[in-house]
């Protein structure tokens, strides 16, 4: 009889699952909507991260090529021919050559240095602007995804309080689902925000280094054009002179 009573009690005991999918199912449309929005934000953030890393690496490689080969040429056009057509550095050189040609056609006299400087700055600005595309979205994701997760958290806590009110007591079986859903939403919001913020800061730092390199190259191009080729950076630094080898033979001893 005692065994039968235990078996009956075990058969009527509430059986509840408290996993991730069970918590999301209890959350309903709001929980799934928050999950989908955060998933879209996360996927787009990683897409921007990897695409920008590829683009930045390409520009850095173009800079190394320009420093190695461009300044060895005898003229700007010859040096431009050595660079890739889609190179950011080729764009600066082409815009400098075009600005020099356009200055001769101006009817209103403008200082050649100011005209060339403005044209090269505009070219450099377009390149920097292209490199910065997508970064505002990373900043937006990093700033808003915690609050989107917090929205799901608030709804989960609200549902838990409703269940407590209906049941009349705060039993674990009644509130575990909504509270679990609330914690999951908080974790998801932070999990999306942190990589986005780290990616934004990292890409911004790399863009700053590229912008400095482009600015140096642009100034060198300006100096080359303004001096008619007389001023140019050295293509390669002279190797330091090796110290004279010490004599290995012992001096002869006079007898």
Q: What is the mean pLDDT of residues 39-63?
A: 94
With a cut of 50, say whether residue 12 has pLDDT above it.
Answer: no
Provide the token pair at 179.
């509270």
pLDDT of residue 17: 54
Average pLDDT, the chain: 79
134: left (phi over 0), alpha (psi -120 to 50) or beta: left
Higher pLDDT, 30 or 238: 30
pLDDT digits 0-9 by tens, 189-245: 999 999 999 999 999 999 999 999 999 999 999 888 888 778 878 654 444 444 444
Between residues 70 and 182, which one has the greater pLDDT?
70
Least confident of 81-90, 152-161, 173-182: 173-182
d(CA 163, CA 168): 8
DSSP, res 71:
G
The predicted structure's pLDDT at residue 13: 43
Helical H runs in 87-171?
88-103, 112-131, 135-167
Cα torsion through 120, 125, 126, 127, rounded to 10: 90
The pLDDT score that the predictor gives to residue 200 is 96
What integer is the mean pLDDT of 166-190?
A: 72
Does position 1 have pLDDT exceeding 60, yes or no?
no
Contact 118, 25 (CB under 8 A): no
In the chain, the percentage of residues whose pLDDT exceeds 90 is 36
Residue 178 has what pLDDT? 67
Asked whether the predicted pLDDT for residue 250 surpasses 60, the reply is no
- State how far Cα 94 lies from the chain centre: 28
User: How high is the pLDDT of residue 15?
Assistant: 43
* pLDDT exceeds 50 at position 130: yes
Residues whose CB is less than 8 angstroms from the CB of residue 214 and which lie 6 or more positions away in sequence, other chains included: 63, 88, 89, 92, 124, 127, 128
Q: What is the pTM of this model?
A: 0.74
Q: Is the pLDDT of residue 11 over 60?
A: no
Q: Quote the pLDDT of residue 241.
A: 45
Q: Which band of pLDDT confidence, cut at 50, 70 and 90, is reported for residue 18?
A: low
Residue range 86-116, pLDDT digits in tens: 889 999 999 998 988 888 888 777 788 888 8
How far, in Å, CA of 232 to CA of 220, rounded? 6
């Amino acid at each position: 009889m005692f065994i039968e009573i235990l078996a009956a009690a075990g058969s009527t005991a509430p059986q509840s699952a408290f996993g991730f999918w069970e918590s999301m199912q209890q959350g309903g449309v709001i929980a799934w909507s928050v999950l989908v929005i955060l998933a879209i934000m996360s996927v787009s953030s990683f897409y921007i991260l990897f695409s920008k890393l590829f683009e930045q690496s390409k520009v850095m490689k173009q800079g190394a090529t320009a420093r190695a080969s461009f300044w060895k040429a005898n003229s700007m056009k010859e040096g431009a021919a050595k660079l890739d057509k889609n190179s950011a550095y080729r764009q600066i050189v082409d815009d400098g050559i075009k600005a020099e040609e356009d200055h001769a056609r101006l009817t209103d006299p403008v200082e050649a240095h100011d005209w060339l400087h403005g044209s090269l700055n505009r070219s450099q600005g377009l390149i920097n602007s292209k490199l910065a595309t997508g970064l505002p979205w990373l900043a937006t994701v990093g700033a808003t995804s915690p609050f989107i997760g917090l929205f799901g958290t608030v709804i989960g806590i609200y549902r838990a309080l409703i269940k407590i009110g209906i049941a009349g007591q705060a039993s674990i079986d009644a509130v575990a689902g909504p509270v679990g859903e609330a914690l999951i939403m908080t974790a998801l919001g932070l999990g999306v925000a942190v990589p986005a913020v780290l990616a934004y800061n990292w890409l911004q730092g790399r863009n700053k280094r590229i912008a400095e390199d482009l600015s140096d190259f642009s100034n060198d191009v300006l100096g080359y054009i303004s001096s008619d080729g007389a001023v140019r950076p050295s293509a390669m630094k002279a190797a330091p002179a090796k110290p004279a080898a010490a004599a290995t033979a012992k001096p002869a001893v006079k007898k």
